[in-house]
Structure 1
Amino acid sequence: MLRIVDHLVGRGPLRICAHVPRGQGPDDLTGPRVLLTADLLARVVELRGRPVLTGRTGPRVPDTAALGIHPADAEGTPEEIAAALGGPAAVQVSARPYEGGGGLSLRVAEAARGAAKDEGEDALAVRFVLLEQPYHQPVTITAEAVEGAQRLLARWRRAVAGWAEQPSKPLVADLERTAREGLEDSLDTAAVVRLLGELEKDPGTPAGAKFETFARLDRVLGLELTREIGTAPVEGAGA
């Protein structure tokens, strides 16, 4: 298992290359999942203060922006990417064993839809469902899971908007430290989601501290939890 804090510290930018497999149809989400995993890794490293440069090989994947995935800094073959980024990638993210050699390899399991895409779905709900599962375990995304994620995200965004109206407080340091340890050890986004769920319901934590903690960890999760700030706070958001 990749331990980010052990292997990816250093000076200068970290170069990450995502190798997108050829899709097996509209319900195949393995390509987006590879890009999402590379995006998460980049966000975690950047949160530690190290700049990241990203590359992408393979076919283009539609709707990556809607999934909250940052665009690659370079595209093409590994050689073209190395030339564009000023050096070879230190981390290779792919859906099958990487045979190019050099650096660390992160293998991402397959992902697929179990039902046709709903035209009205929030793409970030799909991101959320993927975040709830370890990147190295296969996953089939159901319509029920996406619907549940949409409801949860809507509730969290309303809550964050409400908490933002309350007096500022420091983030919950112990929770944030635990979340970052999991992210840096194995990209354990599922644990971060669970921790935020517990924090949301904790009556002993001030609203301002909840806001700062949700906003901080969303820099990695990329779920746009702060996008409703400025709207009327939800009932009970001052808890």
Structure 2
Amino acid sequence: MPASDRPYAYAQPVLRITDARTGETVDAAPARRGLTRVEAHAPAFDPTALRVLLVADLLVRALELGGTPVWALLIGERDQAELRAGAAALGIRPFEDSRDAASGLGEAQVIHVVAEGGPEPDGVRITVAPVHTAPPPEGADPAALRLALLARRRGEPAQLDTASLADAHDTLVRWRRAVSRWAHQPSRPVPDEVRGELRTAWEDDLDIPAVLRVLTKVETEPDLPDGARFETYAYADRLLGLELTRDLGAPA
């Protein structure tokens, strides 16, 4: 999968999401560089609420990668401290807690992220399927927990159990070790084709499992220089937030 001599046929990237109110696909940021407000609705602390925050975090990251300014708010009345602590453990960036702070900033778009069966605010709304735990993943590696949740599209229920968490943990260990090894080789740009596949995946209704499949392909593509593998994983991790470069400089 070598880099092409001509630009990849991928112009004007636009993140599009499915509005749960209408079932139609809409632009997440219809006004160029206009401020988008993302509201994560989490009424109380539970695994599904944390998944709502994770999806909101991914939406914010994807918008920012496309050059859209974003204001992210946490909407809820209970368990705020627990929600924020759980979100921080999962690598979710902090949310503001007041709509008033964004008043007068000329928002071009407001997107609500809610759990299935949850609040139904006016405006563009994306829904998140529930999380089932069997048994509850107490003491689980937060990064493995994040990856296990990313491995399912947000509209599909997520099952967090010993097997899924072990698989996510093993994948993280393998990828981090590989990234650390690739970093010793001369840097190479992310191939245009690969960059296009990544952007097409996450800009198609935040299809994160498709992003992960691209990384799996890049990991084993025989014609790709290791330096390009490294840059690809570092680039994708700006969205995924898995700290894939964490082990750089660690002993082999």
Q: Is the TM-score greater than 0.5?
A: yes
Matched-pair contact (CA < 8 Å) for 2:63–2:70? yes
Tell me which amino acid in the other structure corresponds to 2:114.
S
2:130 maps to which residue? Answer: 110
1:46 alignment partner, one of 40, 44, 64: 64
Matched-pair contact (CA < 8 Å) for 1:30–1:109? yes
TM-score where L is the length of structure 1: 0.86
TM-score where L is the length of structure 2: 0.82
1:68 alignment partner, one of 80, 85, 91: 91
Deviates more, 1:142-151 or 1:5-14: 5-14
- Give the CA deviation at 1:118: 4.3
Matched-pair contact (CA < 8 Å) for 1:162–1:232? no
Deviations 1:156-189 (A, max 9, x none): 0111011111101011221221121121121000
Deviations 1:134-158 (A, max 9, x none): 1011122111110111111011011
Tell me which amino acid in the other structure corresponds to 1:56.
L
1:180 aligns with 2:202: no
Tell me which amino acid in the other structure corresponds to 1:229.
L
What is the alpha-carbon distance in structure 1 between the residues aligned to residue 42 and residue 247 of structure 2?
Answer: 33
Label 1:4 to 1:156 Cα distance change in 2 as closer, same or farther (>3 A).
Answer: farther
What is the alpha-carbon distance in structure 2 between the residues aligned to residue 66 and residue 173 of structure 1?
Answer: 34
Matched-pair contact (CA < 8 Å) for 2:133–2:161? yes
Matched-pair contact (CA < 8 Å) for 1:4–1:184? no
1:189 maps to which residue? Answer: 208
Matched-pair contact (CA < 8 Å) for 1:16–1:92? yes
Label 1:151 to 1:109 Cα distance change in 2 as closer, same or farther (>3 A).
Answer: same
What is the alpha-carbon distance in structure 2 between the residues aligned to residue 16 and residue 172 of structure 1?
Answer: 31
1:236 maps to which residue? Answer: none
1:78 maps to which residue? Answer: none
What is the alpha-carbon distance in structure 1 between the residues aligned to residue 146 and residue 112 of structure 2?
Answer: 21
SS at the partner of 1:226? coil
2:29 maps to which residue? Answer: 8
Label 1:5 to 1:221 Cα distance change in 2 as closer, same or farther (>3 A).
Answer: farther
Q: Moved runs in structure 1, 4+ residues, more than 6 A? A: none
Of all paired residues, the percent bearing the same amino acid is 39
2:238 maps to which residue? Answer: 219
1:100 maps to which residue? Answer: 121
Deviations 1:179-223 (A, max 9, x none): 211211210000111110111111211000000000000100110
Number of aligned residue pairs: 221
Label 1:172 to 1:124 Cα distance change in 2 as closer, same or farther (>3 A).
Answer: same
Unpaired runs of 5+ residues, structure 2, are 1-17
SS at the partner of 1:64? helix
1:237 maps to which residue? Answer: none
Tell me which amino acid in the other structure corresponds to 2:172.
L
Tell me which amino acid in the other structure corresponds to 1:185.
D
- Give the CA deviation at 1:84: 1.2
Matches within 5 A, 1:93-172: 93-95=113-115, 96=117, 98-101=119-122, 103-119=123-139, 121-172=140-191
1:210 alignment partner, one of 210, 223, 229: 229
Matched-pair contact (CA < 8 Å) for 1:172–1:210? no
1:20 maps to which residue? Answer: 42
What is the alpha-carbon distance in structure 2 between the residues aligned to residue 127 and residue 55 of structure 1?
Answer: 20
- Give the CA deviation at 1:99: 2.9
Q: CA RMSD in A?
A: 1.9
